[in-house]
């Protein structure tokens, strides 16, 4: 496809992490990058202008949710997701695979696709590789995802073999159905904790020649070391000249560890989701704004943070807003958490460029803590 390519600019001599530029139809972005999640065509509590001011590069939306509400036809009629939500930067949509599979008992997987019940009105719905592509074409993001099965953890080898074989067939069907030249369709590598299955899946997808590759089936309850091994088991089989996206990962420590392992992109709902409950990420570890000790604390959340919230508001004020359940409080806390991860990704890029990501990791962990999740 035209207008989309990955340019590897520098490999960190200390760690092997990659700094690169991803060229997209809606502009160039620097990697490794964190992508804030705007499931329903909005990053909850943060305006597109604020996102830009924070240095957000790509935002992510979901096929499944937008298909159900307001409907892909509505977004298409609006002129696509960019126009609909007034965001003119690069965007990515997930295929719905992850959301559908997290529905548990209410769904049925067959070769043709997945039947499941709508979370909105309980009606019977059917999503297939072709349908997931058609919806994503209507939404019009710059990067779109193949329809895959995100298998549970743990899953038996027998289950995983069958599931991945089907995910590969689905990737091929999606690729055949994809018509928009201005969208980059990524293949998603599955295979759970089985290295040989991940290798097989990666090789089959690379054979189909996608413009980018995702690593899926992570962050599904597996221990950290298993997740890192899943990355290590996949990366060697992915081409150097294509972007690598680790799906659903947004813990600060994982951002650093994944970059060291050769990941270029990640996303997570974590920063906005936990912010709404008063949980904040800081350079000194996690903090909860509800804490009584902040009642008379007129300092910012994090003295190392330069976000809008930290530049303008105190812990005492934010605690008051949060305890009063004020909407503005949720917005300010979300801004801080998202900015924290965007800034961390930026620090990671700077450290890669200067061949010191290993040192950066140690300095970060000394302050942040090594077991903070």
**Smallest gap, in angstroms, from Cβ of residue 98 to ligand GUN?**
3
Map residue 350 onto helix, strand or coil: helix
Looking only at the bridges linking them, the beta strands covering 33-36 and 265-268 are: parallel
Q: Which of 233, 264, 267, 302 is catalytic?
A: 267
Given the complex with ligand GUN, which of 32 and 216 has the nearer CB atom? 216
Q: How far is the CB of 231 from ligand GUN (least distance, A)?
A: 13
Beta strand segments in the chain, E: 5-11, 18-24, 27-31, 33-36, 59-62, 91-94, 108-109, 114-117, 124-127, 143-145, 184-189, 212-215, 244-246, 265-268, 279-282, 285-288
CB of 93 to ligand GUN, least distance (A): 10
**Closer to ligand GUN at the Cβ: 25 or 187?**
187
Sign of CA dihedral 128, 129, 130, 133: positive
The smaller minimum CB distance to ligand GUN, of residues 66 and 188, is found at: 188
- In whole angstroms, the minimum distance from the beta carbon of 222 to ligand GUN comes to 12
Residue that is written with structure tokens 């899953």 in the block: 155
How many Å is the Cα radius of gyration of the chain? 20
Residue least distant from ligand GUN (Cβ)? 216
Query: Tokens in use for 354?
Result: 């200067």
Binding site for ligand GUN (CB under 6 A): 94-95, 97-98, 145, 148, 150, 188, 216-217, 247-248
Residue 267 among the catalytic residues: yes
Q: 231 with 261: CB under 8 angstroms?
A: yes
The least distance separating ligand GUN from the CB of residue 314, rounded to whole angstroms, comes to 36
Please identify which of the residues 94, 233, 254, 264 carries the catalytic annotation. 94
Q: Which is nearer to ligand GUN, 247 or 341 (CB)?
A: 247
Question: Are 250 and 268 in contact, with CB atoms under 8 Å apart?
Answer: yes
CA 110 to mean position of chain CA atoms: 27
4 or 98: whose CB is closer to ligand GUN? Answer: 98
Active-site amino acid positions: 94, 267
């Amino acid at each position: 496809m035209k207008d989309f390519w990955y340019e590897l600019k520098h490999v960190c001599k200390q760690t092997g992490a990659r700094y690169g530029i991803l060229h997209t139809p809606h502009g160039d972005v620097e990697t490794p990058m964190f992508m804030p999640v705007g499931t329903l065509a909005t990053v909850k509590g943060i305006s597109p202008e604020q996102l830009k001011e924070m240095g957000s590069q790509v935002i992510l939306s979901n096929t499944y949710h937008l298909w159900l509400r307001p409907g892909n036809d509505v977004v298409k009629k609006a002129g696509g997701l960019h126009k609909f939500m007034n965001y003119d930067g690069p965007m990515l949509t997930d295929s719905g695979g992850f959301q559908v599979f997290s529905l548990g008992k209410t769904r049925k997987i067959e070769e043709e696709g997945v039947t499941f019940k709508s979370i909105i009105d309980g009606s019977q719905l059917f999503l297939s590789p072709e349908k997931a592509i058609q919806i994503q074409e209507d939404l019009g993001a710059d990067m779109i995802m193949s329809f895959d099965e995100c298998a549970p953890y743990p899953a038996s080898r027998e289950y995983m073999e069958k599931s991945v074989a089907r995910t590969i067939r689905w990737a091929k069907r999606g690729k055949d159905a994809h018509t928009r030249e201005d969208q980059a369709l990524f293949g998603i590598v599955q295979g759970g904790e089985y290295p040989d299955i991940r290798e097989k899946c990666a090789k089959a997808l690379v054979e189909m020649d996608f413009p980018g590759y995702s690593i899926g089936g992570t962050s599904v309850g597996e221990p950290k070391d298993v997740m890192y091994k899943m990355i290590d088991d996949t990366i060697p089989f992915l081409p150097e000249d294509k972007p690598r996206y680790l799906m659903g990962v947004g813990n600060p420590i994982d951002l650093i560890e994944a970059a060291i392992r050769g990941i270029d992109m990640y996303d997570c709902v974590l920063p906005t989701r936990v912010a709404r409950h008063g949980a904040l990420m800081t350079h000194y570890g996690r903090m909860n704004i509800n804490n009584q000790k902040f009642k008379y604390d007129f300092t910012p959340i994090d003295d190392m943070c330069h976000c809008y919230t930290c530049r303008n508001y105190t812990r005492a004020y934010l605690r008051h807003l949060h305890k009063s359940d004020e909407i503005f409080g949720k917005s300010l806390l979300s801004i801080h958490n998202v900015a924290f991860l965007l800034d961390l990704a930026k620090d990671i890029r700077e450290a890669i460029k200067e061949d010191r990501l290993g040192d950066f990791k140690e300095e970060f962990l000394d302050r942040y803590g090594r077991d903070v999740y």
